[in-house]
Structure 1
Amino acid sequence: MCGQCVSVQTQSAETHGITFRIQINVKELLDTDILLKLLFHLPVNYPSTLPEISVNSDQLTRAQCTDVKDKLLEQAKKHLSEPMVHELVLWIQENLKYVIKQPATVYNEKTTLSKAESTEDAVWMLLLHLDHMRAKAKYVKTVEKWASDLRLTGRLMFMGKIILILLQGDRSNIKEYLILQKTSKVDVDSSGKKCKEKMISVLCETKVQPQHKRFQMFEVKEYSTLDELQKEFEAAGLATLFSEFVPPLLK
């Protein structure tokens, strides 16, 4: 999660708008603190016009800073005509680890070793738990499209009230999937209004091991019993994954 150290400076001019300089500490995938320096220039007709955004960090590459800026601008478009700086800061605090394409460069023994052991081009696996799907048909089609677009294989699994998404693919594409899952209006709330997925848990994210079966496609499957679901995991060499994460969901 993110750190709580936030500093804000403002500069204003009647004809040029306002500039915010914000520094925040955020933890990324290797649990290292990343100091982000964000600059938001709000034009006079903000929020009807998007802010100009600049991103800098001594621990990120120029390309990673560009990725962060691009994603912040994408989010800003979703808040056009409403105040958005606070929302954008909260969003990047929660999603930085999914936005940057590789671990940040932090020069200490622990994280350098972790980075060396992390192979970005290896096949990765992600297991997600969803609390519910109100608009099931639309939700399923959306998940299938994301998996296809990002060349991810695996399963969307239903067993009683349990809903699991198991994905395999390039780590960068899995990160992109998580961003889509967390930021898109993929379901509806109790009143039928489109809403983002807020009841999602990342149960496991790891490299695919030699004993794990590689899925050849993405499929939607329903199971009538827990035993059927368990056999699906066992057939894929994922018995340990099942026993660690799935039975607790029934409690």
Structure 2
Amino acid sequence: MIQTKVRRTSEPDVRLRLVFDLPVTYPSGLPNISVSSGDLTRAQCEELRDRLLEQAGERRSQPMIHDLVLWTQQNFTSVIGNSIRDEKRLPSAMTDDGTWTTLLHLDHMRAKNKYVRTVEKWTSDLELTGKLMFTGKIILILLQGDRRNIQEYMVLQKTCKVDVDSSGKRCKEKMISVLCEIKLPPDHKRFPAFEAKEYSSISELEKEFNMAGLSNIFNEFVIGLF
């Protein structure tokens, strides 16, 4: 996570928080990037994120994080333009992202009870719903809610000491991957709350996804994990 400021002539600085989720194959594998800022609308954060992903693609197979931060500072105005003040005056409904679903895959969980309590607290504080799902060795976290709140959750997940290492020492989560991030249709019902649940079989897990109207996510991103 990198927090930086973009300085603009005769305008207030814009504070940015950039989160780079590096896969084990980095830099040949591209990082997952999220952008958040209290000075920008969600649409502007998404626009900047999309442009950063494009820049990351052009830098594949070479260290890129420092370059991406510099690119952001140098090209911010051309990407966002002069629309910041105008978009802040729009009604909130005009910039509402709706409900998003993000599916995460955890490699392991040593301090299970503490980990579960921590995730439950974070999701409660951020008003997120979904499931923490255990099926054999497969561990999934499905989050539903406001996209910015999901991004805040990801910051917590990557920066807080939520688990323990092999020696029992508290450590940050380093083995997590984002399987998918999609916007739900307006008429789609989200999970009413967040809960941790054990599933005895793949078919039982698949049934959970089907009942939630997320069978496409299961077929595309989950079944291949088994």
TM, length-normalised to structure 1: 0.59
Residue matched to 2:107:
131
Task: Please provide the CA RMSD for this pair.
Answer: 3.3
Residue matched to 1:197:
173
Alpha-carbon deviation of 1:122?
1.0
Sort the Cα spacing of 1:218 and 1:180 in 2 relative to 1 into closer, same or farther, 3 A. Answer: same
Alpha-carbon deviation of 1:169?
0.8
Query: CA deviation digits over 1:116-168, x for unaligned, max 9?
Result: xx954311111100011000000000000000000000111000001011111
Verify the 8 A CA contact 1:212 1:238 in the aligned structure 2: no
Gapped runs of 5+ residues in structure 1? 1-25, 27-35, 39-54, 72-93, 113-117
Alpha-carbon deviation of 1:68?
3.7
- 1:154 equivalent to 2:130? Answer yes
Sort the Cα spacing of 1:221 and 1:107 in 2 relative to 1 into closer, same or farther, 3 A. Answer: same
- Which residue identity is paired with 2:97? D
Sort the Cα spacing of 1:213 and 1:68 in 2 relative to 1 into closer, same or farther, 3 A. Answer: closer
Query: CA deviation digits over 1:52-79, x for unaligned, max 9?
Result: xxx2256xx957x33549x9xxxxxxxx
Sort the Cα spacing of 1:95 and 1:249 in 2 relative to 1 into closer, same or farther, 3 A. Answer: closer
Distance in 1 of aligned mates of 2:183 and 2:169 = 37
TM, length-normalised to structure 2: 0.65
Gapped runs of 5+ residues in structure 2? 20-30, 49-75, 84-93
Structure 1 runs of 4+ aligned residues shifted over 6 Å read: none
Give the 3-state SS of the residue equivalent to 2:127 in structure 1: coil
- Which residue identity is paired with 2:221? F
Indicate the structure whose relative CO is greater, using CA pairs within 8 Å and at least 6 residues apart. 2
The structure richer in helix per residue is: 2
In our comparison, the structure showing a higher alpha carbon Rg is 1
Verify the 8 A CA contact 1:125 1:169 in the aligned structure 2: yes
- 1:66 equivalent to 2:42? Answer no
